[in-house]
Structure 1
Amino acid sequence: MDKLFFLFYSFVSVLIYIIALPFLFLLSFKSKYRVSIPARFFLWKNPPLDRDGIWFHTCSYGEAKAIKPLVEALPKTVLRMTTTTHTGKSVIEGYTPQSRYLPFEPLLFWWLRPQKALVVMEAEFWYLLFVLAKLRGAKTLLVNARMNDRSFPKYLKMRWFYRQIFASIDAVYAQTQTDKERLELLGAKDVTVTGNIKLASLPKVTRRLVKPEGMLLCAASTHEGEEALVLEAFAALKKEMPGAKLAVVPRHPERFEKVAALLETFAKQEQMGWHRFSDDMSLQDDIVLIDKMGELVNLYAVSDMVILGGAFVPVGGHNGAEAAQFGCKIISGPHYFNQKDIFEAVEGIAVVEPANLTRRVLQHAQLKPTRLKTKTDITPILEQLNDVL
């Protein structure tokens, strides 16, 4: 650790904190920040984590979900979790009561307790977080690390700064070989390629469904407004392939009845048969509403083509790897902003604007079966953590 840089950075962070206090106080009255800002910047109802645990820090909802394979492999009693976002907090609270908002850096001097390990996801490069955790006895790990084409040139310009951070990180686990090489240029040491952690624990088939004759199209994890787009595309497909079948899987159970009414009206208009999966677990009708939870992966296993919901409306998309593990052809909308790293790990996903969905479905012969580009092995990370327990 460079002591001079440590003192300089600490002084600047305290100065920024003092200057920002009035603005943070006013911002804390907004409903969106009413909990997170008082917790992060004033330590309101945000006590320190208990000592001597395995401390995971994530930022977003997606990162908090992705850490699950590591969390589930460890005793619950040693789990310590922090995040910086409200959505991330909602996830980590499901792992352990030892869940907190991460305080702003200068507050860590008083807040941070000694831990056995600190595990930080992806690109949460907080200098004082790593330095203070290491000074107080923690083994420090950066996991699922990535450095994409767009951000790498910006990081490279600040290489002098990131070298200071990586000096306090004991081991780095990168998603790809390219990420490994880029991180090493920034000063990372002991870098191992493990793949994307989000692919470490894909759901497995729990029920063997009988695939119907003809093409099976699965509309997966759909949201409000997406079913209408899918039905329009399916009507066009049926004219070319009368034997095609459609399974519709709404993302949220509370929408089952509304979607059922939509499908019933559409089926009558188009003179098609339809039924609810909860009444008949076959896929023989023209349209089947999957109104039971936990069936999506079973459907993927027998589907020819998947229209992946959550991205034709600005929701953020859903995990395309779950379908790609079966080689399904996949079509997604453009709003997959919560799944960018997953989409980069899957080869063959076709991304289209909502207005072009019908045309792309009709061009299904041109779509390529998807596949996972990389494999994931979290064993090296778990070995490091088990060594400190």
Structure 2
Amino acid sequence: MRNVAFDIFYTLVATFLYVAALPLLFVLSFKKKYCQSIPARFFGSKNPPFPEHDIWFHVCSLGEAKAIAPVVERLNAHKIAISVITHTGFEAASKYAAEVRYLPYELWLWIWMKRPKTVVVLEAEFWYLLFRLAHIRGARVIALNARISERSFPKYYRMRWFYRILLRQCDRILCQSSEDMARFIALGGRNVEVVGNIKLAQKIEATKHYPKPDGLLIVAASTHEGEEEGILRGFLAYREQNPSAKLLVVPRHPERFAKVRELIAHVAPTVGFSCWSESQSISEVITLIDAMGELNNFYAISDIAIVGGAFVPIGGHNPLEPATFGCKIITGEEIFLQRELFKYVSHVQFTSLQGVAEALKHAESLPPSQINGNVDLDRVLDNLTEK
């Protein structure tokens, strides 16, 4: 009875928030970044319920959508459904043999969700009504690659009364690490175990093969607002000692390409600069990679990877991709969302934006990065397919 009362209360709060946000949602729906996801998630546009399926994966964005690849490939005898939050996640999930939808705003799940059999929620996508409705409609609910960062845990713990209710709807919690397991147990999780990080099972490969230019090639990968300028200045300072060095700049979000282009012209007006979309070559000192889906192809020919998202408090990005290609890795210290993955990668330098030039110099004497670790993928599959 208490759960029913909480369901009603939560739905009423979700309704209030939805109505309050309608003007903003309407405006954002005209922006290129959200023109598909917001109409689908909040207004039901071209986003019908899933047809009958065996296993439903819910992921957030590009990284999680890519992470489930080795699991989905091993489940080819099952009907798979995948829900996402972002447009980049939708594009990545659409490459699988699966039905793909945007996850509707929680309020609409009451009428959108049918009777799933197994719902698998990736990492930290803790939407209460997703868990609750899947549970009361007879599905097995599994949290896969579950994680709570050390930085985030105090916030979760202050709301432990809420997460105790949410996690009560979950049949299995398959964690990335023993630290994550301890945090979930502290929040009231049941049937919690460590299987490792499924990203370790990813098949990471280049899809195209580009010629490597002469000299040292550095890629500034998945950079965010506030990072590019420091990286550019560090590279220019380092290049005074190594004039053959070249830099590729790969912003994380495509809507920032134009802004980063202006920034490069401002910070480095005297060096050669080109955009990949125009030249399709790495002949200049600095090249802006203004294209999607190319990062692994450039990791494959780079000597050093400066991995973004960690010089500002974003949480870091996947180090396994550059390590797979033997890049020497430099990144910031704000890796709180990727700390577990960094445990598996050797020879990583952590520095500030002010230390980029010195880190580049030090990288000359370091061996290439390597990956050391594994995941119990068979255990994961046993949990997902258990009757």
Normalised by the length of structure 1, the TM-score is 0.72
Q: Deviations over 1:298-325 (max 9, x none)?
A: 446xx4x444467779998653223335
Partner of 2:20: 23
One-letter amino acid of the counterpart of residue 351, structure 2:
V
Partner of 2:114: 113
Max radius of gyration: which structure?
1
Across the aligned residues of Structure 1 and Structure 2, the Cα RMSD in angstroms comes to: 4.6
Cα drift, residue 16 of structure 1: 1.6
Q: Deviations over 1:151-196 (max 9, x none)?
A: 2222223333322222221211111111112212222222221222
Structure 2 counterpart of 1:238, from 236, 242, 248: 242
One-letter amino acid of the counterpart of residue 348, structure 2:
I
Partner of 2:6: 9
Identity of aligned residues (%): 36
Q: Is 1:246–1:288's contact at 8 Å kept on the other side of the alignment?
A: no
Q: Is 1:56–1:81's contact at 8 Å kept on the other side of the alignment?
A: yes
- SS of structure 1 residue aligned to 2:81: strand
Find the aligned partners of 1:85 and 1:306 in 2 and give their Cα distance: 26
Find the aligned partners of 1:85 and 1:355 in 2 and give their Cα distance: 33
Partner of 1:201: 202
Partner of 2:276: none
- SS of structure 2 residue aligned to 1:10: helix
Task: Between 44-53 and 16-25, report the one with greater CA deviation.
Answer: 16-25
Partner of 1:321: 320
Q: Is 1:220–1:296's contact at 8 Å kept on the other side of the alignment?
A: no
Q: Is 1:226–1:312's contact at 8 Å kept on the other side of the alignment?
A: no
Partner of 1:357: 356
One-letter amino acid of the counterpart of residue 94, structure 1:
K
Find the aligned partners of 2:334 and 2:191 in 1 and give their Cα distance: 36
Which 5+ residue runs of structure 2 have no aligned equivalent? Answer: 252-256, 259-263, 273-278
One-letter amino acid of the counterpart of residue 4, structure 2:
L
1:73 and 1:230, CA in 2 relative to 1: closer, same or farther beyond 3 A?
farther
Q: Is 2:230–2:354's contact at 8 Å kept on the other side of the alignment?
A: no
- SS of structure 1 residue aligned to 2:115: coil
One-letter amino acid of the counterpart of residue 81, structure 1:
I
1:315 and 1:105, CA in 2 relative to 1: closer, same or farther beyond 3 A?
closer
1:326 and 1:149, CA in 2 relative to 1: closer, same or farther beyond 3 A?
same
1:138 and 1:18, CA in 2 relative to 1: closer, same or farther beyond 3 A?
closer
Partner of 2:60: 59
Task: Between 35-44 and 333-342, report the one with greater CA deviation.
Answer: 333-342
Find the aligned partners of 2:207 and 2:35 in 1 and give their Cα distance: 42
Correspondences of 1:110-189 after superposition (within 5 Å):
110-189=111-190
Task: Between 94-103 and 45-54, report the one with greater CA deviation.
Answer: 94-103
Q: Deviations over 1:31-60 (max 9, x none)?
A: 355544443344343221112331011123
1:237 and 1:118, CA in 2 relative to 1: closer, same or farther beyond 3 A?
same
- SS of structure 1 residue aligned to 2:318: coil
- SS of structure 2 residue aligned to 1:29: helix
Cα drift, residue 125 of structure 1: 1.9
Normalised by the length of structure 2, the TM-score is 0.72
Q: Is 1:204–1:297's contact at 8 Å kept on the other side of the alignment?
A: no
1:227 and 1:42, CA in 2 relative to 1: closer, same or farther beyond 3 A?
closer
Find the aligned partners of 1:227 and 1:186 in 2 and give their Cα distance: 39
Find the aligned partners of 2:212 and 2:131 in 1 and give their Cα distance: 51
Q: Deviations over 1:324-371 (max 9, x none)?
A: 356653213578798666446545432334443222222347868645
Cα drift, residue 80 of structure 1: 0.9
1:236 and 1:190, CA in 2 relative to 1: closer, same or farther beyond 3 A?
same
Q: Deviations over 1:262-318 (max 9, x none)?
A: x9x959xxxxxxxx99899xxxxxx999x9x66545446xx4x44446777999865
Find the aligned partners of 2:118 and 2:233 in 1 and give their Cα distance: 48
Partner of 2:261: none
Q: Is 2:172–2:190's contact at 8 Å kept on the other side of the alignment?
A: yes
Find the aligned partners of 1:387 and 1:251 in 2 and give their Cα distance: 42
Task: Between 306-315 and 373-382, report the one with greater CA deviation.
Answer: 306-315
Q: Deviations over 1:226-264 (max 9, x none)?
A: 99557525533438xxxxx74655649x99xxx9xxx9x
Q: Aligned residue pairs: how many? A: 360
Q: Is 1:76–1:96's contact at 8 Å kept on the other side of the alignment?
A: no
